[in-house]
Amino acid sequence: MKHPLPPRLLPMLGLLLAGFAQADNPDRPAGGSIAYVLTNMSWAMQSTPGAAECPKGLNEGTREQFKQLFPDNGTKRSFESTQLRREIDGFHPTTAAEPFVYREGEGPVAPGLDLDGITGPEDFRSPDGHEGIENQMHRVLGCTANYRAPDGPIRFFEDEMVLRENYNRVVVQLRGVDSLKDDDAVDVRIFRGRDKVLVDAGGLKAVPGGTQRVDLRRGANYIRETRGRISGGVLRTEPVDLLYPWDVFYFPSDQYMYKARLELKLEPTAATGLIGGYADIETWYLHTIRNWGTHYQSYGNSSAPSIYKAMRRLADAEPDPQTGRNRAISGALATVFTQVNIIEPDPAEYAEALTRRRFAAPYRGMPAERDPAEEQFDPQPSTPAVAASGAPR
Amino acid sequence: MMRDSLAGLALLFACAGAAAAGSGKEAWIPEPMPTGFRVELTVIDGPVFADTKGHTLYRWPFKVMRNGITGDPRGESNCGSEPARLSGGLMSPYPPGLLMPELDTRPACTDVWPPALAADAAKDVGRWSIITRKDGRRQWAIDGAALYTSVLDQRPGDLIASDAGNHRGDLPAMRDPVGPVTDLPPGFAVISTHRGRVLRNERGFSVYARDAGRHGAASCDAACTRIWQPVPAPASARARGDWKVLVRDSGELQWSFRGQPLYLYLPDPRPRAQDGTDEPGWHLVYVQQAPPVPAEFTVQPTTGGLVVADANGRTIYTYACGDDAPDQLGCDHPTQTQVYRLALCGAGSAERCLKNFPYVPADRGARASGLWSVVSINPLTGRFAAAGDPGAQKVWAYRDRPVYTYAGDERPGDINADNYGELRAQRQGYNAIWLRNDFTREEG
């Protein structure tokens, strides 16, 4: 009889089955350990086809704002007071008011986690009916086409690059697992892997059974260890401040989430679910302004300076001890992980990497900030924003 | 284990011997040139053609940009003698027709890129031909591309006006230096990096040599070749200049360069990777190495690889800029407008720029090395300081442009300002100097 699987896939299948073929407990992974590599990730938002969560419509982007601020009415427009001025607004954002309507994502439904155990007036109800969901990021990005599911351009690219770029190789490893269904205490290690993800012949779909080495050399800063509990096949971890890589088009950049917790539905071949917590605003914005300049913002009608204002306005965590301003915003990452085998690092090398790990604060923004009063919104400033002169060489 | 083979192999090269073979410098294939022109060897960008004063020759390749096309079509020059007054709108998503900054002092294209003019009696030679400019003057061209020099280049071999190793997609329509073909066997390429001209195979994979095999027979045995693949030479290959063909015990032919048998590192995960240098005793192969980074600087590990940093470990950044006029002039050199840089680093405030992106001060005893130099800057204007300027500061420069640290980097290894700027700093912005990048981007 002809076997239904190609012969070269049999070893892989055998490896997978071996991981779970234990007579005493079929839900216990081999050696009490299982790992998953991140293969899809995007900010969790409610994005219904009819955009019911955006009753006021979707936001306008950089191109539309430019036309509104600097209409082509026959008067000469200078580069400095228009184009360069808008770039300044992007690279030196402030909380000053702007003459645009910002349309926030609305409730009552949005995905996410109950991060504080309280159901407050700003909280959402999750799509599966849980109350008390904190997801202010949905308010900020939920009505901006670039970030909406399923195919907002920035959302699409950032998701694609999670799989494509090795810089983004986040791995979650569970150890001390008695059962993938129920276990009161498991050890959770989060780190960066070093290797490509195993994909199918099309190249775009991750498949289980690959291997990953632990990136101890460049990735020590990403190593985190926490504890978790598995209940009903769902892993829930204790909060941990998480630095995670998320580069775009091969330009290294990271994100930072305070009190991040994982809530993942575990299967032998995959884990899906959310990483919820409080995203550091300045780190998020630095990632955005470095990777998604005005050109890319125009793809899907987003405007970085407008998003910054909304993000600061809706921030709900990590108050600055000196100013009292919240530095972080609640949100969640919708994730898909794929099972992967780990080549365990040498214990001594792992221990050495931990000595190089840095837990210092996330990015704090441009040191010399622009005062909000500098950001004026008269449509046609008469004086150039910048003047420079100099001596000849 | 291996022996040199000098006979019985067919001719591989069609042309004469390499111009600088045996010198430790990059060799090139000579070709006919008009009288007065010559070849200069640059510090890290290979051989270039130069005019009678040794000034590098450039072309302006036609480039399809986000919102249009600019550059020189074949046989024509679009570099005009009148200053461009309006933006070209080539930098998406902004519209064209905006009045360019500092119009009263804006140079014309030909002020910055003087055409390489041909004498009345000059005639075509080899790849070199003569085109007629719109003003009727005759201009040299190579392969139909009009040739220019740059006012920024001062000395023979200078390549101040262009970063030949930087060809990312959203860069301005840059001028490229032109030069003779590097003398390499088929199957090899040479790439400009911050550490020099590095050898690669035709697929972009790094080529390595073993320290122990440097001066004689290779010692990579069967076990060694499980991860180190000898770079094969075809049966038609023969020795030439720095290149020789070795016959391994197995009978396979293997290229060697300057006495070093050449290998590929099989675990290298992608083109441009240099993981093989992590193996003790193995190194990349350079046809010409760059002078060392001055001792005042350090090399720091980051989450992506290795970057140049100051003595305190703060990452060093260069600033690059091209404007959005149709002639795509530079805006990153101290002799050029500072409007763009001041906008990006300080929202138009020079004082704020100095806090965010301070210059890197040079000590009294600081010495130039390769493309690194010490320049005198007026920090409030960003221009070269005039003689006697009381506010002048001596600062470090790379390619004649000041370098910076970023105050938002708190610790060694932080790279928060890398690709910080418009279109990932390709149009204008800051970039770290990568000596090694383990995640696909060119290593510098």
For residue range A238-291, list pLDDT tens digits in order: 999 999 999 988 888 999 999 999 999 999 999 999 999 999 999 999 999 999
Judgement on whether residues B145 and B63 belong to the same structural domain of the protein: yes
Identify the CA nearest to B50 among candidates B154, B156, B129, B151: B156
Share the mean pLDDT of chain B: 90
Give the tens place of pLDDT for each residue, B71-86.
999 999 999 999 999 9
CB B135: neighbour CB atoms within 10 A? 11
* Contact indicator for A112, A136 with CB cutoff of 8 Å: no
Give me the domain span that covers residue A173. Answer: 26-359
Query: What range does the domain containing B204 cover?
Result: 2-9+183-289
Report how far residue A147's alpha carbon sits from residue A152's, in angstroms, rounded to the nearest whole number. Answer: 5
CA A268 – CA A253 distance, rounded (Å): 31
Flag if B92 and A298 touch (Cβ within 8 Å): yes
A382 domain residue, yes or no: no
Distance CA A114, CA A136 (A): 12
Q: Are B118 and B128 in contact (CB under 8 A)?
A: no
Nearest to A83 among B94, B419, B441 (CB): B94
Q: Is A217 on the interface with B (CB under 8 A)?
A: yes
Is B364 inside any structural domain? yes
The 3-state DSSP class for residue A194 equals: coil
Backbone phi, then psi, for B422, in 5-degree steps?
Answer: -65, 135
Distance CA A356, CA A351 (A): 9
A229 burial level (CB within 10 Å; 0-12, 13-18, 19+): middle
In a domain? residue B432: yes
CB pairs under 8 A between A and B: 177
Burial class (CB in 10 A: 0-12, 13-18, 19+), B285: buried
> Rounded to whole angstroms, what are the CA distances from B327 to A185, A389, B38, B67, B190?
65, 22, 27, 14, 30
Please indicate if any CB of chain B lies within 8 Å of the CB of A33. Answer: no
Q: Indicate if B162 and B199 belong to the same structural domain.
A: no
Dist. CA B77–CA B61, nearest whole Å: 10
CB atoms A251 and B424 under 8 Å:
yes
d(CA B179, CA B118): 18
Contact state of A88 with B343 under an 8 Å Cβ cutoff: yes
Helix (H), strand (E) at residue A35: strand A33-43
Nearest to A79 among B87, B385, B407 (CB): B87
Are residues B93 and A62, on separate chains, in Cβ contact within 8 Å?
Answer: yes
The DSSP output letter for B369 is: B
pLDDT number for residue B22: 58
Q: How far apart are the C-alpha atoms of A328 and A136, rounded to whole Å?
A: 10
Q: Is the dihedral of CA B195, B198, B203, B205 positive or negative?
A: negative
Please give the Cα distance from B393 to B358 (Å, whole number): 12
pLDDT at A334: 98
Q: First-to-last CA distance in chain B?
A: 36
Residue B113 in any domain: the answer is yes
Whether residues B277 and B361 share a domain: the answer is no
Looking at the structure of chain A, the number of domains it has is: 1
User: Which residue of chain B comes nearest to A248, CA vs CA?
Assistant: B424
Question: Inter-chain contact A83–B98, Cβ cutoff 8 Å?
Answer: yes
Percent of chain B at pLDDT above 70?
Answer: 91
Q: How far apart are CA A179 and CA A186, in angstroms?
A: 10
In a domain, B313, yes or no: yes
- The side-by-side arrangement of strands in the sheet containing B372-378 is B383-384, B372-378, B393-398, B401-402
Residue A378 lies in a domain: no
CB contact under 8 Å between A388 and B335, yes or no, is no
> C-alpha distances in angstroms, A128 versus A42, A125, B428?
19, 8, 47
Fill in the amino acid letter for B257. F
> If you average pLDDT over residues B274-287, what whole number do you get?
95
Examine residue A83 and state whether it is found in any structural domain, yes or no: yes
Which of A251, A288, A301 to mutate: most B Cβ within 10 Å? Answer: A251
- CB-nearest partner of A77 from B99, B385, B441: B99
Could you report the predicted ipTM of this complex, rounded to two decimals?
A: 0.92
Can you give the pLDDT at residue B439? Answer: 87
Top residue of B416, B420, B435, B441 to mutate, by most chain A CBs within 10 Å, is B416
Residue count (chain B): 444
The answer, yes or no, to whether residue B5 has pLDDT greater than 70, is no
pLDDT given for residue A2 in this prediction: 43
> Do B147 and B98 share a structural domain?
yes
Same domain, B253 and B310: no
Are B113 and B72 in the same domain? Answer: yes
Distance, first Cα to last Cα, chain A: 84
Q: Side chain identity at A306, as an amino acid letter?
A: S
Chain A residue with CA closest to B423: the answer is A293
Residue B33 and residue B128 in contact, taking contact as beta carbons nearer than 8 Å:
yes
Helix (H, G, I), strand (E, B) or coil at A81: helix
Residue B278 gets which letter from DSSP?
A: G
Amino acid at B163: D
Q: Is residue A173 in some structural domain?
A: yes
What are the tens digits of pLDDT across the range B342-352?
Answer: 999 999 999 99
Contact B334 A91 (CB under 8 A): no
Q: Is residue B112 part of a domain?
A: yes
Question: Which residues in chain A come in under a pLDDT of 70?
Answer: 1-23, 360, 378-393
Token duo for residue A103: 């349309």
Smallest CA-to-CA distance from B239 within B36, B52, B17, B2 is with B17
Distance, CA of A209 to CA of B192 (rounded, Å): 39
Q: Which of A185, A173, A142 is nearest to A344 (CA)?
A: A173
Distances (CA, A) of B304 to B167, B192, B318, B436: 20, 20, 18, 8
CA distance B394 to B401: 12
Q: Does B151 touch chain A (CB under 8 A)?
A: no
Q: Which residues of B218-251 are buried (b: 16+ CB within 10 A; e: fewer)?
A: bebeeeebeebbbbebeeebbbbbbbbbbebeee
Contact: B418, A92; criterion CB under 8 Å:
no
Q: What is the pLDDT of residues B238-257, one digit of tens each?
A: 999 999 999 999 899 999 99
Burial call A188-217: b when 16+ CB within 10 Å, e when fewer: bbbbbbbbbbbbeeeeeebbbbbbbebbbe
- DSSP state letter for B319: E
Pairing verdict, β B188-193 and B243-248: unpaired
CA distances from A64 to A67, A70, A144, A354, A358 (A): 5, 10, 13, 48, 42
Pairing, β B188-193 against β B260-261? unpaired
Per-residue pLDDT for B115 more than 90?
Answer: yes
What integer pLDDT is reported at residue B21 of this predicted model?
Answer: 54
Q: Is B403 on the interface with A (CB under 8 A)?
A: no
Asked if the model's pLDDT at residue B260 lies above 60, the reply is yes
Residues B37 and B146 in one domain: yes
Q: Is residue B257 part of a domain?
A: yes
Report CB contact under 8 Å: A393, B383. Answer: yes
Per-residue pLDDT at B64 exceeds 70: yes
Q: Which of A235, A336, A341, A272 is nearest to A16 (CA)?
A: A341
Q: Are residues B311 and B233 in the same domain?
A: no
From start to end of B196-281, where are the E strands?
A: 196-201, 208-210, 228-230, 243-248, 253-257, 260-261, 263-265
Q: Is residue B21 part of a domain?
A: no
Query: Is A4 inside any structural domain?
Result: no
How far apart are the CA of A130 and the nearest CA of chain B, in angstroms? 38
Please compute Rg for chain B using Cα positions.
23
Residue B217 has pLDDT above 70, yes or no: no
Look at residues B265, B289, B313 and tell me which one is the last residue of a structural domain.
B289
- Does the CB of A153 have a partner CB in chain B at under 8 Å? no
The pLDDT score that the predictor gives to residue B48 is: 96
Q: In chain A, positions 240-279, which contact chain B (CB-CB < 8 Å)? A: 245, 247, 249-252, 254
Residue A235 is assigned to a structural domain of this protein = yes
Q: Would the pLDDT of B40 be above 70?
A: yes
> Which of B160, B179, B198 finishes a domain?
B179
User: What strand order describes the sheet that includes B428-432?
Assistant: B317-321, B428-432, B420-421
Instruction: Map residue A86 onto helix, strand or coil.
Output: helix
Number of domains in chain B: 3
Tell me if B101 and A384 make a contact (CB, 8 A cut-off): yes
The shortest CB-CB distance from B342 to any of A363, A366, A388 is to: A388
For residues B68 and B126, membership in a common domain is answered with yes
Among B263, B267, B160, smallest CA distance to B213 is for: B263
Q: Is residue B19 part of a domain?
A: no
Q: Which of B:265-324 have CB within 8 Å of A? A: 269, 301-305, 324
B114 and B199 share a domain? Answer: no
For residue B283, the cross-strand partners are B209
Whether residue B93 has pLDDT greater than 60: yes
Task: Return the half-sphere exposure (C-beta side, CA atoms, 13 A cut-off) of residue B63.
Answer: 22
Return the pLDDT at B91.
82
Q: Final residue of a domain: which of B179, B208, B227? A: B179
Q: Mean pLDDT in chain A?
A: 91
- Tell which B residues from 76 to 95 touch A, by Cβ distance under 8 Å: 87, 91-95
Distance of CA B332 to the CA centre of its chain: 16
The verdict on B343 and B241 lying in the same domain is no
Query: pLDDT tens digit string along A146-196?
Result: 999 999 999 999 999 999 999 999 999 999 999 999 999 999 999 999 999
In a domain, A50, yes or no: yes
Do B304 and B429 fall within a single domain?
Answer: yes
| Placement of tokens 């249009």 in the chain | B68
- Residue A170 has φ and ψ, to the nearest 5°, of -80, 130
